[in-house]
Structure 1
Amino acid sequence: MTTDDSRRTDDSRHTGRRDRIPRIDPVRWPDVSAPPHARMSGLRAFAAERLFRRAAARLPIAVEFPDGSRIGRLDGRMVPRMIVRDPESFFARLGASGLIGFGEAFMAGEWTTDDLVGVLSAFAADVADLVPASLQRLRSSVLPRHPADEENSLANTRSNIARHYDLSNDLFAAFLDETLTYSSAFFGTDRDAERAQWSDLADAQRAKIDRLLDAAGVGPGTRLLEIGTGWGELCLRAARRGAFVHSVTLSAEQRDLALRRVAEAGVADRVRIDLLDYRLVRGRYDAVVSVEMLEAVGREYWPVYFQTLDRLLVDGGRAALQVITMPHRRMLASEGTYTWVHKYIFPGGRLPSIEALREVATRGTALRPAGEFAMGLHYARTLHLWRERFRSADEAVGRLGFDAVFKRMWTFYLAYSEAGFRSGYLDVYQLRFDKTAPAGTRSS
C-alpha cells in the first residue's frame, strides 16, 4: 500500500527538513503534536535507537534516513521500505513510550513507507525477539500503564465503547460493505480469501453470520441473545430464520441505526435491541451469539462474561462466539502492557488465547467447548478490503470532520491489524460452547 504520506516523501526524505511534516492540532492530538523533550528522553532515545537498529538489521525490510544512510536488507531483494523522516523525534518517541511512540510517530508523519502492511508484518513476525528478554522484564516499570478509568467496570465500559463505535455511523459506512458488518468475513476457503475482491465481501459477511447461527442452532422459535449488536445484520438474519432476538449494545449510534434497519426490514416484532451492559441482562435463552465483543471485556472480566452466558442459557443451550486471539505465550508476556491500540482505538481491550478461553469458560460453569474453527487469513483479507476502501474514501472522511492525523491513525490501525493476521501473531476463531444439563433435569 502507498499512503498519502509516502507519496509526499520523494522530495524530502534525504533533506532532513521537518517543514514537510504538517502542523498537528495540539488540543486534539496532545501526544502526537510534539515528541518528548530531548532533555527528558535523551538516554531512552539513545537506547531505543540502538535497539531499533539492531532489530531492523535482522528483518526483511530496508530503513532509510534523511542523510541517505540505510539499514536492513541491502542485498538488492525487493523488501518493504520504511522511511524515517525525522530520526530525532522518532527515537525520542520510541524511548519514551515504546510501540505507542512507534504508532504516534507514524500519525505525526515522522516515518512513512510504501508498504505499511509489509513493514508491520515484518515487525509482528519477530515481535517476541525484537527486545532482549533481559530488557522485556523492565517493560512494566518504564512504559506507560493502563489508565484506571479504562478498566471495563460497569461505570467505565460505556465510555470505552463510545470512543470507538460512536465516532460516526457515516465514518463506518464509508469503508464497510452494505451489511455494515465490522468483523471478519468468511470467504469459504483460505484460497478463496486470498483472491477475494470487494464485490465478494457482503456475501462473505452473511456467510460468517450464517455459520455462527448454524453453530448456535438458531431456527424458528429460538430465543436468541446477541451480545454486541453492531449495526444489526445478525439480528436481521436471525429474525428471518424465525428466531426471537434480544440484542444488547453499549453504542447509542449503533443501536439507533440497527433499530431503523430492523424496522425497515419488517422484523421489528421479533427483535428487541437494548442499550444495556451484558452483565445486566436477565432472562433465559436457547442460544447466545456474540461477534468480536469478548475482546472488549478485559481479562479480569472474562470469568464474569462466561458466568453470564452460563446463567442466561437454558440447559442444553449453545453459545457461538467469534473471537480474535493471540498465542498464549504472547498473551502472558504482554500482561499489563498498555499499547497503541489501547490508547487510540480500543480502550480497555484485551485479546485472549484459545487456551485461556477454554480454561476460563469451563472453570465454574456448565459450558463445554464443542467446536473451534480458525480463519485468520479471512480476517487479513477483510482488513485489506476495508483499508483500500478507507483510502478511497479519503475526501468523504474529511468532510465528516476527521483530519489528516485521524486518517493516518486509522490507516495504521487497519494495516497493523492486517499485519497481525498475516504474520500469525493474531488469529480469529468461531467457537461453540454447549451448556451441559445435569442428568435427569431440564430447564426452560
Structure 2
Amino acid sequence: MGPQAPDPTPSPPPPGGRPVTTADLRLAPRPSIDPRRWPDLAASRRRARRRVEAKVAEQIFRAAVRRLAVRVELGDTVLGGAATDPDAPVMQIARPDAFFAAVGASGLIGFGESYMAGDWDSPDLASLLEVFAAQVATLVPAPLQRLRAFYVAKNPRAERNSTRNTRNNIARHYDLSNDLFASFLDETMSYSAALFEGETSPGASVADEQTTVCRPVTRPGWADLVPAQQRKVDRILDAAGVGEGTRVLEIGTGWGELAIRAAGRGATVRSVTLSSEQLELARQRVADAGLSDRVQIDLLDYRAVEGQYDAVVSVEMIEAVGHQYWGEYFRTIDRVLAPGGAVAIQAITMPHDRMLATRNTYTWINKYIFPGGFLPSTEALEERSRTHSGLRLTERLSFGQHYAQTLRLWDERFVGSLERVRELGFDEVFDRMWHFYLEYSQAGFRSGYLDVQQLVFRREVQA
C-alpha cells in the first residue's frame, strides 16, 4: 500500500484522563495466534512441558515481586510488595502455567511474548513496567546473574549491523508500512523524542562537557506535539550551526522533517536512509515543500557517504548501528566533516554498567521490534568518539522525561487507531505487541533507566 498523508485528527483519549486499559484499547484479551506469523508464540504452548524451567521462573518471579510496589493477581492469590495497596500498579495473570512456561523458556523475551499471547494483562501497563524497569538490575538474584552467559540468548550473527545485514534489519521495522506509522505519529512524521516546554538545570558531565537536564513543566497533550517536535529539530540544527549556505549531512532520514527544516534555513542537505518506505515518503514531503533543489535523499549506508559537510546531524539512528560498529560510525563522520564543522547527535542512552552487562544479550525488543539494535551509554559514545576520531563531546542536553510523554501520546493515538491498523493487515497479536513496545519504552524513560540526549561533538583544537 502506498504512503498516505497522516490523519491530523487524533483519536480521543480515555475519559477523565485516567490510564488507558485493555478494554479502552479494544485489544483482544486472548488473541488468535497465527502460527505462520507468530511461530514462537505457538511453539511456546508446545514447550509447556518444561516444568522445571517454569517452576524456577515462578520461584524467581514470586521472590522478585515481594520486593516491588506492585499487586500481582494470580488466580485467587494476590502477590507483591503492595498487595494490599489498591492504588498500586496491577498485573493480572490469567494463565499462570503458560506465563511461567514462557518466562522459564526464554526469560524477558518470554515475558513479552506472554503479554502478546494474552497470558497476562494490566490496566496501567506503563506504570507496572516502570516498577520493573526501576529494579531491572536486581530482579534476578546475584548468584543466578553470574550464570547469565549460559542462559540468556545471544544476538544472532545474521542480525549484526554489517553492510550486508543492516538494510534488512532496518526494513523489518521501518518498512512495515508508512500508513502504520502515520496512524500514531503527528503530521511532522517525527519518530523520535519531542522537546516540550521545560525547566532546565545543570547536569553531571562525563568528559567536562556542558550538560543540561530538561524536564517538562506540564503534562502535554496532543496539540503540544507538533511544536515540540519542531522545537527538537530546531535545537539540534542550532547546535550544529546549520544556517544559510551550510552543507548538511543527515544520517537517518526518518520521514524528512529535519531535512525540510534545515533546507528552510537555506542549507543544502544530503540525507541517507536504508528504508525504502521512508525514502519514498520523505522525497514526496520534500517535493511538496518545494525544496527538492536543496535536499537530496539517497538509499545508502552511512559508511558509503563521500564528500565534505559543514554539519553532520543524526536523530536516533545510532541505536541501530550496533556496538561493534560505533568506532566506524565516528570514523565515518570524522572523515566527511569539513574543518570547523560540528556534529549533533540525538541518542537514546542507558546506564553504562547495564550497557556492559547486556551488550551481547538478545532481547524482546531485538526479536520483535529493532533487530540488531543496541542502546549506547554516554560514556561509550564519548570513549568511541575520542579513540576512533578527532571528535570531542562538548555539550549535552538530557531530556528523557520528554520522551516518556512523547511515547504516552503515541500510544494513546495508536490504541485509538486499531481499526485503521487492522485494515492495513496487522492482526490482534501485533496490536498487543506494538502497545507493549510503546508502553515498555515509556516505562524505561519514566523510571530513569533510559535517557535521550542531544550531544554535540567538535574536533579537538590542537595546541
Bucket of the pairwise TM-score, normalised by the shorter protein: over 0.9
When structure 1 is superposed on structure 2, of 221-230 and 140-149 the one drifting more is 140-149
Code of the residue aligned with 2:22 in structure 1: it is: D
Match of 1:122 in 2: 131
Q: Distance in 2 between matches of 1:117 and 1:323?
A: 22
One-letter code aligned to 2:317: M
Does structure 2 retain, via aligned residues, the 8 Å contact 1:48–1:91?
yes
CA offset at residue 137 of structure 1? Answer: 1.9
Residue 195 of structure 1 pairs with residue 195 of structure 2: no
- Identify the range of structure 1 (363-372 vs 415-424) with the bigger mean alpha-carbon deviation: 363-372
Match of 1:442 in 2: none
**Is the counterpart of residue 243 in structure 1 residue 261 in structure 2?**
no
Provide the residue aligned with 1:12 in structure 2: none
Instruction: Map Cα deviations across residues 221-265 of structure 1 (whole Å, 9 max, x no partner).
Output: 100000000000001000000000000000000000010111111
Partner of 1:4: 22
**CA drift at 1:40:** 4.8
Task: Identify the residue that residue 15 of structure 1 maps to in structure 2.
Answer: none
Matched position secondary structure for 2:430: helix
Instruction: Name the structure 2 match of 1:294.
Output: 318
CA contact 2:216–2:401 (8 Å) conserved in 1:
no
- Contact residue 197 and residue 217 of structure 2 kept, 8 A: yes
Q: Which residue, out of 403, 412, 425, partners 1:379? A: 403
User: Hey, what's the Cα distance between the residues in 2 that align with 1:438 and 1:413?
Assistant: 45
Give the corresponding residue for 2:193: 184
Letter in 2 for 1:135: L
Choose which of 45, 50, 54 in structure 2 pairs with 1:41: 50
Which of 390, 393, 410 is 1:369 aligned to?
A: 393
CA contact (8 A) 1:316 1:436 kept: no
SS in 2 for 1:430: strand
Shift of 1:134: 1.3
Instruction: Indicate which of 179, 182, 185 corresponds to 1:173.
Output: 182
3-state DSSP of counterpart to 2:293: helix
Distance 1:282 1:301 in 2: 18
Aligned residue-pair number: 429
Paired amino acid for 2:30? I
Match of residue 69 from structure 1: 77
Partner of 2:157: 148
Instruction: Report how far residue 138 of structure 1 moved.
Output: 1.4
State the distance in 1 between where 2:31 and 2:186 align.
32
Equivalent residue in structure 1 for 2:245, among 196, 221, 239: 221
Q: In structure 2, what residue type is equivalent to 1:121?
A: E
Deviation at 1:139, TM superposition (A): 1.9
Structure 1 runs (4+) deviating above 6 angstroms are 5-9
Shift of residue 5, structure 1, vs aligned partner = 6.2
Q: Which residue of 2 aligns with 1:416?
A: 440
Work out the CA distance in 2 between the residues paired with 1:76 and 1:422.
Answer: 21
1:85 aligns with 2:94: yes
SS at 2:55 equivalent: helix
Q: Which of 325, 328, 338 is residue 349 of structure 2 equivalent to?
A: 325
Kept in 1, the 8 Å contact 2:365–2:371? The answer is yes
Over 3 Å counting, the alpha-carbon distance change for 1:251 and 1:417 in structure 2 is same
Gaps of 5+ in 1: 10-18, 440-444
Which residue of 2 is the match for residue 55 of structure 1?
A: 64
Identity among equivalent positions (%) equals 58
SS of aligned partner of 2:397: strand
- Distance in 2, matches of 1:194 and 1:410, equals 26
- What amino acid is the match of 1:32? L
Contact map agreement 1:51 1:131 (CA 8 A) in 2: yes
The CA deviation at 1:21 is: 2.5
Residue 35 (structure 1) shift: 2.0
User: 1 CA distance for matches of 2:386 and 2:399?
Assistant: 23
Deviates more, 1:292-301 or 1:331-340: 331-340
Q: CA deviation at 1:365?
A: 1.2
CA 1:224–1:268 in structure 2 vs 1: closer, same or farther (change >3 Å)? same
Offset of residue 89 of structure 1: 0.7
TM-score with structure 2 setting the length: 0.90
Give 1:143 deviation, angstroms: 2.6
What is the CA distance between 1:148 and its match in structure 2?
Answer: 1.6
Question: 1:394 aligned to 2:409?
Answer: no
Secondary structure at 2:101 match in 1:
helix
* SS at 1:268 equivalent: coil
Equivalence for 2:358: 334
The aligned residue for residue 109 of structure 1 is 118
CA distance, structure 2, for counterparts of residue 36 and residue 162 of structure 1: 29
2:422 paired with 1:404: no
Distance 1:6-1:188 versus aligned 2 partners, 3 A rule: closer
Is residue 166–residue 252 contact of structure 1 (8 Å, CA) maintained in 2? yes
Aligned counterpart in structure 2 of residue 314 of structure 1, from 313, 317, 338: 338
Give the match for residue 16 of structure 1. Answer: none
For 2:106, the equivalent position in structure 1 comes to 97
8 Å Cα contact 2:349/2:453 also seen in 1: yes
Q: Counterpart amino acid of 1:144?
A: A
Aligned equivalent of 2:209: none
- The one-letter code of the counterpart of 2:223 is S
Please list every run of 5 or more consecutive structure 2 residues that lacks an aligned counterpart in the other structure. 1-18, 200-214
Task: Indicate if the aligned counterparts of 1:322 and 1:428 stay in contact, CA closer than 8 A.
Answer: yes
8 A contact 1:193–1:381 mirrored in 2: no
Match of 1:267 among 284, 287, 291: 291
Kindly report the root-mean-square deviation, in angstroms, between the aligned alpha carbons of the 2 structures.
Answer: 1.7
Residues 348-359 of structure 1 correspond to what in structure 2 (within 5 A)? 348-359=372-383
Residue 196 of structure 1 contacts residue 381 of structure 1 at CA under 8 Å; is this kept in 2? yes
